[in-house]
Amino acid sequence: MNQLLVLLLTAAIAVPPPPAPPRAAALPAPVERTLDNGLRVITVEKSDVPLVAARLMVRTGAEEDTRDFAGLARLTASLLTQGTQTRSAEQIARGVEALGATLRADADWDYSAVDVDVMSTNFPKAMDYFADVVRNAVFKKEEIERVRTQSIDALTVSLQEPMTLARLVASRVIFQERPYGQAAGGTPQSLARIQREQIAGFHERNYRPDHAVLLIAGDIKPEQAFALAEKAFGTWKTERRVEGSPLPTVPQTVPAPRIVVVDMPDAGQAAVVVTRRGIPRADPLLYQALVTNSILGGGYSARLNQEIRIKRGLSYGATSFFEMRREAGPFVASTQTKNESAAEVAGILIDELDRLATADLSDKEMAPRKAVLIGNFGRALETNAGIVDRLSMLALHKLPLDEIGRYVPSVQAVSATRVREFAAASLAGNTASVVIVGDAKQFLEALRKRFPQVEVVAVAELNIDSATLRR
């Protein structure tokens, strides 16, 4: 059964030389300080390449968006670089790019962030623009209109992509309402409703030093990083504390699983998504979830890709992941396949969830999948941007920064029994919903055989603003 074993038993064949003893990797050593205004500053020195990456993160993102104004956090972030009290959008772009820097702002579910990446010699100058857009964005009406139009056009394009649409529908199916049921990027209708008042309000409530974390990593000494942080953000004051309404919580009632087909007759491929609710980032079961997912769909040789791509040639790739958020975000297993094989692939995805919960799991299968997690973890910390990202997520979820040193042993400690328990409790196939976006006539009959309860919505009738999915 095992090809490698067969190989070793065949005497005439050469075998690979065995590995030498491994060397341990060094982890980044963050140092931190809190400015008088409450801004937490975390920095890591890494001097092999003359670059610096920095992020200013505020602890609120799209989860705060109301139903009417879905997309507000993202729209606000997009507008930060489009004009401040002293600089126009063009002056910001020109000044930043003259330094060879990239400056980007975006909002995720739990946070909004501005990122800068620049040669270390130009970092002090880049900090000036970076702090200016965070603190002094003015949200001019004409810039709002421009970004609104662009955002709606971009959304219109992305809604033509089968997988993008399938993921949006999947979130609606498993969460139904806000926060996570709606689209973080909003809809063309909600984006059209947002006014300057909401944008400026979001900024005033959330972009403030005692609600923010600044991360700086790269070719810079900690003392210099703290001095630049003080210079750029030390005078940043919260004029008055504006309390927003409390963050919405995810309703505890889990809706019954659904099987949904969005019929898109000109889809060049079908997007197949199997989904259910996952776990929060700070959940004690985190490492069980990570190891379980690594076995199921976290990488090239994980089970989903083995079954769907390697054994059957049904896709370019199949994958699964947990989106770790403040509250339990989605678990997603997904792939794209030719329309006629969509039903077969949906069946395989569900079967693999069940196999994980029921069949035995050998150490021989576990060990490589843990190595994948550990290898990816180490490589992500080779770049400044990777270090900033990892530390900012720990800070966001109020986890100690030294958790970075517990990642490897925590992954290693997960046993096969724990994986099976976790899979049985959290990933059983009959608790998952299925969403397929594609040319329904090519797979609907086959799909009905396995899932008689399938609902079909024509793409022209689809309403992602409602849990019914219909207008």
Taking CB under 8 A as the criterion, which residues in 369-428 touch another protein?
Answer: 371-372, 374-376, 378-379, 382-384
What tokens does 354 get?
């069940």
Shortest distance, CB of residue 3 to another protein, whole angstroms?
Answer: 4
Counts for the chain of helices (H) and strands (E), in that order: 17, 12
How many chain residues interact with another protein (CB under 8 A)? 83
Which residue of 101, 191, 225, 404 would you call a contact of another protein, by CB under 8 A? 101
Q: Which stretch binds another protein (CB under 8 A): 18-26, 68-76, 207-215, 250-258?
A: 18-26
- 55 within 8 A of 214, measured Cβ to Cβ: yes
Selected from 35, 39, 118, 396, the binder of another protein by CB under 8 A is 118
Spatial separation of the C-alpha atoms in residues 294 and 375, rounded to whole Å: 12
CA distance 99 to 221: 20
Cα of 380 vs its chain's centroid, Å: 15
List binders of another protein among 130-189 (CB under 8 A): 146, 149-150, 152-154, 156-157, 160-163
Q: Which is nearer to another protein, 156 or 358 (CB)?
A: 156
Cβ of residue 392: shortest distance to another protein, in angstroms?
18
Interface of this chain with another protein, residues 58 to 87, rule: CB under 8 A: 81
* By the rule CB under 8 A, 22 interacts with another protein: yes
Residue 17 phi, psi (nearest 5) = -65, 145
Tokens of 189: 């209708």
CB of 185 to another protein, least distance (A): 15
Footprint (CB under 8 A) of another protein, residues 241-270 = 264, 266-269
Q: Single out the residue of 1, 11, 19, 246 in contact with another protein (rule: CB under 8 A).
A: 19
- 133-145 burial code (b ≥16 CB/10 A, e <16): bbbebbbeeebbe
Closer residue to another protein in complex, CB, 34/301: 301
Footprint on residues 269-328 left by another protein (CB under 8 A): 269, 271, 299-301, 309-317
Question: Which residue stretch of 4-12, 133-141, 220-228, 391-399 sits at the interface with another protein (rule: CB under 8 A)?
Answer: 4-12
Instruction: Give the closest residue to 243 by CA, choosing from 278, 195, 208.
Output: 208
**Closest to another protein by CB, 2 or 417:** 2
Question: Strands, E, within 20-178: which ranges?
Answer: 31-34, 40-45, 51-58, 102-107, 112-119
What is the smallest separation between the CB atom of 359 and another protein, expressed in angstroms? Answer: 20
Closer Cβ to another protein, 176 or 337, answer by number:
337
Q: How far is the CB of 402 from another protein (least distance, A)?
A: 21
Site for another protein in 29-58 (CB under 8 A): 48-51
Beta partners for residue 321, in sequence order: 332
CB of 184 to another protein, least distance (A): 20
Q: Beta partners for 280?
A: none
* CA Rg value for the chain: 24
For residue 173, give every residue at least 6 positions away whose Cβ sits within 8 Å of its Cβ, in sequence order, or none.
255, 258, 260, 275, 433, 435, 467, 469
CA distance 282 to 128: 34
- When binding is defined by CB under 8 A, the residue of 27, 119, 200, 254 that contacts another protein is 119
Q: C-beta of 230: minimal distance to another protein in Å?
A: 26
Q: Looking only at residues 329 through 368 of this chain, which bind another protein when binding is defined by CB under 8 A?
A: 336-338, 367-368
The per-residue DSSP string of 57-93 comes to: EES--GGG--STTTTHHHHHHHHHTSBBSS-BHHHHH
